[in-house]
Amino acid sequence: MNTSGTSGRPGRAGGEGHGAPPAARGRLLAGRYRLVRELGRGGMGTVWRARDETLRREVAVKEVSVPFGLPEEDVTRLHARLEREARAAGRIEHPGVAEVFDVVRQDGRPWIVMELVRGITLQDVLEADGPLEPERAASIGAQVLSALRAAHGAGVLHRDVKPANVLLALDGRVVLTDFGSSLVEGGEELTDAGEVVGSPEYLAPERALEAEPGPASDLWALGVLLFASVEGRTPFRRETALATLGAAVDDALPAPGRAGPLRPVIEGLLRKHPDDRLSAAEAERLLRRVAGGSRARGGGAAAVPGAREVR
């Protein structure tokens, strides 16, 4: 599970996920959605494969995991965060964002019902196979950026773009997941002052300095994702989260050695000041140009060996 979201990672590439606990498997939510199998679990929540018995289709259902003894105020905040995720994703109409079908309440807590996307996370691919070729990374990055542009156009900042939240679907799509950390234009901030939202290795300098985030902050995170995809590591990772944030603010970007034609895009997205970064439109244009080299040779982002169902 990531730092502040609710998506789970069932395990390595090709795994079948966790088996549902006997008491949960078969449970019916809101008289309609029957839990079939657990797909992923983490500190913040669980994602299930479920059956919509009204429309007779497979769906994904996300619930919040509430630690025993958690103060009621924090429980309320966790529930609000899940509902915010549903509202944020529900505002975005794009094939790179899983469609939200419903939000139901059962036992006093919310459950999100959404499109079941079959595939594997980019994080699992990197851990199983190592760094990507620049052209494949560019193809994935262009599709993530297209989804981000749709989100930004709908007034939504993702705030936790990273490989664990990018799903390579069997149908060829690249899907941006986990809007649990997102900020919706005009919406309430659900974190305390000074609380870090997102993953430190992917946090933009302005966010590390607690400045107001904007679309350029998501573009920085995409730049880190691209760097990690071709180099096999993030550029500013240090021994502690605080040191990592400090490096993002103060340290020069290490020269990417494997990026090839992707290097100008990475460097353009990882400029310290948000106003100096590549625009989303220019970055997407450059990414698609780099990705075009892989299609000419028969490569691409769609190959997903050992994929499984996950959201």
Query: What is the C-alpha to C-alpha distance for residues 233 and 252, in angstroms, rounded to an integer?
Result: 16
pLDDT values of the chain reduced to their tens digit, one per residue, 311 residues = 333 333 334 332 233 333 444 447 789 999 999 999 998 876 567 889 999 999 999 999 988 777 677 788 888 888 887 787 788 888 899 999 999 999 998 888 889 999 999 999 999 999 999 999 999 999 999 999 999 999 999 999 999 999 999 999 999 999 998 887 777 765 554 444 444 567 899 999 999 998 888 999 999 999 999 999 999 999 999 999 999 999 999 999 999 999 999 999 999 999 999 999 999 999 999 999 999 975 444 444 444 444 455 55
The amino acid occupying position 127 is E
Residue 94 near residue 133, CB atoms below 8 Å: no
Q: What is the DSSP letter of 129?
A: H
pTM: 0.81
Q: Residue 251 catalytic? A: no
Q: Which of 102, 107, 124, 160 is catalytic?
A: 160
Query: What is the C-alpha to C-alpha distance for residues 90 and 112, in angstroms, rounded to an integer?
Result: 11
Query: What is the C-alpha to C-alpha distance for residues 29 and 233, in angstroms, rounded to an integer?
Result: 41
Assigned token pair, 33? 């959605």
The amino acid occupying position 259 is A
Residues 6+ apart with CB under 8 A from 193: none
Give the domains, in start order, of the chain with CATH numbers.
Answer: 28-115 (3.30.200.20), 119-309 (1.10.510.10)
Query: What is the C-alpha to C-alpha distance for residues 136 and 198, in angstroms, rounded to an integer?
Result: 25
Query: What is the C-alpha to C-alpha distance for residues 51 and 62, in angstroms, rounded to an integer?
Result: 13
